[in-house]
Structure 1
């Protein structure tokens, strides 16, 4: 029995220590700690949301219709180049989703349909009218939002905002939350710029290439550049590839020495999609170029066989594969040690350079820092008052058992904040509301058990038997109420927007921790009291 109690108290102590360590970045102690110690500890903790920290809330609408029109114009331009090679007088013009070719002929129709087999064709008054299929239009609009999302994310990373929120809203909108940013015009101008996709040759022949480290921490990026600045050849530059360890979550950056001049740009790219290699059952990126790009890409890959070609978007390296042979046919494969998720992300990045989708600013709200400070203070006061009132009630009404419940309540708060800090969760006002609700549910759990214990004592059972029986009989009721609340929280998280998600996250974590503190924490204290001496009366 004592061995079992010791094991539970050890588990509680370890959880307390882990929670305190995770919370250190949110305390003044962290800043005064030696850097050597901070390197082995979390560096973020709980992140304050936009409503607490202040900043900018933006909503952009992606013009999917214009993305379709731009795609049709690009196809019309490519068709005109094909027709010019056939020395015909026919000309293609784009109008919305339609591409009209005058005059019509069997030969022209064959040329166009060989190049673009997915186009829907009709013939009227000596004209060929090609339209994009409904499926292709939906795909273009969907890709346009993905492209805009990735472009904005890259721009925000350069802007240097800590923990921005960038997510889709509805079918064609993108919500951008920038905590701590006080210059909305600069942020909007930066987001509105077009991403630049480039292909550059890796300069492996330079002496500096051999001196570059395999990886550096993001914080050391500028320091590395300043050290090697004088050694970088005039026609070269150093760019970085971001890498995240999937097991530890650690982010590092790999430096590349690249030729400054791009040998190829995203203007020639028409499509990029994920495919599966049937031989190795691994994903790769299949890219397709327009006719002009296909010819140029074939010439360039033939020229740079056995050299590495870096794929760069907005100054960030995404991949640097070795060119094994001349690549012809207007398509290529980018393979490597990708997971399916990474391959999808890279395909979106590649498409982002080929068809930047126009975006319109729909909403621009600046949240002042004073509002954030007021919100934090109001949230603190609410939580403290709720805790004190609940703790006093429990201690007065349930006496010693109530004090034990208050101990579990303190554990609940410490573990909840520690878990949020460990996950680098974003705390918002709805999140604080979730914490307060979790405190209420923690008390409710103990009330259920205590009332069961009282019933068992009235039946004449000993304190130890009453505690064991009370916990056993209340167990299913407690689990049932917690599981149903978790299901509700999961639905809120799945279908809710940002603030609702914040509420759902804190509520879910609080409920899970409450099960631990009530079924293990308070039970360990009761068992310790009952085992330390012969208890004749239970203070409840």
Structure 2
């Protein structure tokens, strides 16, 4: 029995942790040992623990995009690439369960659950994300936000020219207005009328993340890591090494983000061959830094996109429907608990405790991961509850057969679990394989609702292997330790 006592301690600890995570007023996990507002150090964590609702439960926004090019300048593979990168970007911003779908006519529709900062998300979606590190050593003082023409922009524009078309003059290049109603801005050129020289694009970066660099006041920047043997990385390192105390511009989609001075220690590191990362500074808010980091981390869009329509949508289920669904779920779970208690008696109590633990672990993981709870995801969870009960029924029926065949209570309990285990294992594993297939097809074809169903059902099946076997067995053996004499004298308490 010692093994079950150890498992009982583990179960109690799991219950306490999951119960704390599941509390509605849980403050989250915020570990900042240095108390500097920067959670990037090892063993530090800044994580909110909250329920993430899908578009059908909480509403959100819908955006319709269209390619800002003629149809002969892109193909289906280009649009597919744009769809994948938009989905990665919005997920990188923390917009879970986003729906990104390609439509006819070079259009892409994006649904964003629970988006409150709409402009931030729209900028991340629409922007092509062309980041450039540009030689500004002779540029002088140019304000941030200025439209700047670079050699890379010219190269991209000329590559998109149809056969027989003539490249436009440098002076004709413009940037879109910074607001919807603002006119286009003419591009800034060098003093000799030529574009500024691009040293490296964002293709040379391996990773990027927003970071708080302020000590007294909050100030945000983007840390980046150079890609080994990445495109333009050698040019970038050589430029930094040879231009100490000179300016290098950081330009995003044709507009100047910042023009920091290359510090001497960074130039020395580049000259020594030890430079593998850097930082992009500017007057960033937290949202702006996260948008830029998402654009850099998940790649630039292959084609420019225009927002042609957007609207705010409410929950498709409605508040009343959600309340009724929750009430129906609670009634169903209580009914199952009562059935197990009445029909199986003492083993039913163990099964009910395991089922409550099952629900607690699931909900804690939903908050911690987090898992977006849409209607299909909730259905997957409810189905997994049915499999959890089904496993206990297999065990108890086998245990009752052993008791009727004359085995002692202890041996009947062990035989019930041991002989039912293979059936529970095989049935759960086969369904888990189906969940993997559903998740794969959901990822491939943009059916995020199917992915949510597969995630919650698969998680429930894995957790069920623990609760229906180990937890129930531990609870039942604990009860035998406490009231074993009465159970042996009154076998009806075991459901026989």
Q: TM-score range by the shorter chain?
A: 0.5 to 0.7
Structure 2 match to 1:178? 112
Pick from 440, 456, 468: which aligns with 1:506?
Answer: 456
Alignment partner of 1:285 is 2:230:
yes
Structure 2 match to 1:44? 49
**1:267 Cα deviation from its structure 2 partner:** 1.5
**1:269 Cα deviation from its structure 2 partner:** 5.4
Pick from 285, 300, 305: which aligns with 1:358?
Answer: 305
Q: Per-residue CA shift, 1:205-243, capped at 9, x if unaligned?
A: xxxxxxxxxxxxxxxxxxxxxxxxxxxxx9787xxxxxx
Q: 2: CA distance between counterparts of 1:47 and 1:22?
A: 14
Structure 1 match to 2:494? 539
Pick from 467, 475, 492: which aligns with 2:421?
Answer: 475
Q: Per-residue CA shift, 1:298-317, capped at 9, x if unaligned?
A: 99879835767464547889
- Structure 1 residues 165 and 429, CA gap change in structure 2 (3 angstroms): closer
SS state at 2:111 partner: strand
Q: 2: CA distance between counterparts of 1:474 and 1:236?
A: 73
Q: 1: CA distance between counterparts of 2:45 and 2:85?
A: 37
Alignment of 1:152-163 (within 5 A): 153=90, 163=95
The structure that has the greater radius of gyration is 1
- Structure 1 residues 458 and 283, CA gap change in structure 2 (3 angstroms): same
- Structure 1 residues 299 and 435, CA gap change in structure 2 (3 angstroms): closer
- Structure 1 residues 483 and 194, CA gap change in structure 2 (3 angstroms): closer
**1:529 Cα deviation from its structure 2 partner:** 2.3
**1:489 Cα deviation from its structure 2 partner:** 1.1
Alignment partner of 1:487 is 2:487:
no
Structure 2 match to 1:441? 387
Give unmatched runs, 5+ long, in structure 1: 71-136, 204-233, 238-258, 277-281, 289-293, 327-332
SS state at 2:357 partner: helix
Pick from 316, 331, 341: which aligns with 1:395?
Answer: 341
Number of corresponding residues: 385
- Structure 1 residues 190 and 449, CA gap change in structure 2 (3 angstroms): closer
Alignment of 1:2-21 (within 5 A): 3-21=2-20
Pick from 291, 315, 322: which aligns with 1:376?
Answer: 322
SS state at 2:230 partner: strand
**1:377 Cα deviation from its structure 2 partner:** 1.1
Moved more, 173-182 or 496-505: 173-182
**1:139 Cα deviation from its structure 2 partner:** 6.7
**1:409 Cα deviation from its structure 2 partner:** 1.1
**1:378 Cα deviation from its structure 2 partner:** 2.8
**1:169 Cα deviation from its structure 2 partner:** 3.6
Structure 1 match to 2:471? 521
SS state at 1:283 partner: coil
- Structure 1 residues 347 and 527, CA gap change in structure 2 (3 angstroms): closer
**Quick check: 1:201–1:263 contact (8 Å CA) kept in 2?**
no
**Quick check: 2:438–2:450 contact (8 Å CA) kept in 1?**
yes
- Structure 1 residues 167 and 436, CA gap change in structure 2 (3 angstroms): closer
Q: Per-residue CA shift, 1:252-296, capped at 9, x if unaligned?
A: xxxxxxx989695752454875799xxxxx7342149xxxxx9xx
Q: 2: CA distance between counterparts of 1:64 and 1:451?
A: 67
- Structure 1 residues 261 and 429, CA gap change in structure 2 (3 angstroms): closer
Give unmatched runs, 5+ long, in structure 2: 38-43, 157-200, 207-226, 279-292
Alignment of 1:297-336 (within 5 A): 304=243, 309=248, 311=250, 313=252, 336=276
**1:528 Cα deviation from its structure 2 partner:** 1.5
The alignment's TM-score, normalised by the length of structure 1, stands at: 0.58
Structure 2 match to 1:53? 58
Structure 2 match to 1:460? 406
Q: 1: CA distance between counterparts of 2:261 and 2:80?
A: 27
Alignment partner of 1:421 is 2:367:
yes
Structure 2 match to 1:116? none
- Structure 1 residues 418 and 266, CA gap change in structure 2 (3 angstroms): farther
**Quick check: 1:408–1:522 contact (8 Å CA) kept in 2?**
yes
**Quick check: 2:377–2:454 contact (8 Å CA) kept in 1?**
yes
**1:530 Cα deviation from its structure 2 partner:** 2.5
- Structure 1 residues 262 and 357, CA gap change in structure 2 (3 angstroms): closer
**1:149 Cα deviation from its structure 2 partner:** 5.8
**1:201 Cα deviation from its structure 2 partner:** 7.7
Moved more, 186-195 or 509-518: 186-195
Alignment partner of 1:405 is 2:379:
no
Q: Per-residue CA shift, 1:476-533, capped at 9, x if unaligned?
A: 0000110011111111111121111111111111111111111111100111222344
SS state at 1:413 partner: helix
**1:47 Cα deviation from its structure 2 partner:** 0.8
**1:389 Cα deviation from its structure 2 partner:** 1.3
- Structure 1 residues 309 and 370, CA gap change in structure 2 (3 angstroms): same
Q: 1: CA distance between counterparts of 2:27 and 2:437?
A: 37
